[in-house]
Amino acid sequence: KSVGIIGVPFEKGQKKYGVSVAPAAVRSAGLINHLKTIEGLDVKDYGDIDTTTTEAEVKVDNMSHLSQVSACNKKLSERVSQVLKDGRVAVTIGGDHSIGVGTVDGHYKVNEDMILIWVDAHADINTNKTSDSGSVHGMPVALLVKELADYWPYLPTMDWQVPKFSIKNLGYIGLRSVDEYERLAIEKYKVPAFAMEDIEEHGIRKSIQHILKVLDPEMKKPIHVSFDIDSLDALEAPSTGTPVRGGLSLREAINLMEIIHATGRLRAIDLVEINPALGDDCDRKRTIEAGLCVLKAALGFSRRGTAPRGVLDL
Ligand code: ARG
Ligand code: MN
Ligand code: MN
Ligand code: MN
């Protein structure tokens, strides 16, 4: 088993300062060493995406910084494809959630049969016509899915990204802040979406098992998890731009990732929306630690522990 790490110091998909510092903060919290403690995991760092842009601003109604979002995602998409072609699981550290456009696009170009699990308090499926914020981090899913392509105006600079991924291969976990037209899209396309009340009813295990079964009854497709740290309860992950209380406990999120790891089909995971500039030292540390726990669980860390290799065979 091997993974490739990609950092994306990008924050133009939303309005607060600080999410772009997350890759550096997560790295200095020991990301690489933490992952290397996982038995049998080969870790390669592909470095950060260069997010300095010279692109001229393009004006699209109610859509901020489109040209920068586009330029960053174009590079990210190519990097994710490369990591996957190198035979590694792509682990992308954002950045705000607008970078989900690049990670999913890059994954789709390598594995057209991929399924996408969006773990988030929010559905991120607004278009520029339905968004209250104009921030692209609330729009990545709508940019990615082909079924919503006709709801967008022409988007200058985005020609590299042709939405081919089908909304039929999408599932949600952790929702508790869904806008009106987002709810409409979820219902219209019957997206398996487990909001917090559904997780209360069924538990995290049954919830993810149901989604995986609906999206892929034969249980053989590659899985992409896009994990927004704000899916966690705001007490577990306070340092994030759009916190919503009443979210997943860290235990639920770890268990969710263990279940996904156990499928053996996780090919890409994004960890986004950690904002080390929000809150105090203790908030920042707590949030980054939670993110590391989630990643480790997704990549095979066992809470049962691992005995030293070979000793019992002697
Ligand atoms: N639904 C809101 C919006 O469209 C919030 C989105 C928050 N997204 C996120 N990736 N944290 O702006
Ligand atoms: Mn969110
Ligand atoms: Mn999100
Ligand atoms: Mn505190």
Indicate if the alpha-carbon torsion angle 301, 94, 242, 214 is positive or negative: negative
Phi, psi of 92 (to 5 degrees): -110, 125
Who contacts 221 (Cβ-Cβ below 8 Å, separation ≥6)?
A: 111, 113, 114, 115, 169, 215, 265
For residue 107, indicate whether it is catalytic: no
Q: What is the pLDDT along the chain (314 residues), one digit of tens a residue?
A: 999 999 999 999 999 999 999 999 999 999 999 999 999 999 999 999 999 988 888 999 999 999 999 999 999 999 999 999 999 999 999 999 999 999 999 999 999 999 999 999 999 999 999 999 999 999 999 999 999 999 999 999 999 999 999 999 999 999 999 999 999 999 999 999 999 999 999 999 999 999 999 999 999 999 999 999 999 999 999 999 999 999 999 999 999 999 999 999 999 999 999 999 999 999 999 999 999 999 999 999 999 999 888 888 76
Tokens 């559905």 belong to which residue?
123
The protein residue with its alpha carbon nearest to ligand 1, atom 2, reads 138
Q: What ranges in the chain are assigned the alpha helix state H? A: 22-28, 31-36, 66-85, 100-110, 140-144, 180-188, 196-215, 250-262, 281-298
From 122, 126, 141, 232, the mutation candidate for ligand 1 (largest count of ligand atoms within 8 A of CB) is 122
Q: Rounded CA gap, 56 and 42, in Å?
A: 40
For 254-281, letters b (16+ CB in 10 Å) and e give bbbbbbbbebebbbbbbbbbbbbbbbee
CB 5 within 8 A of CB 93: yes
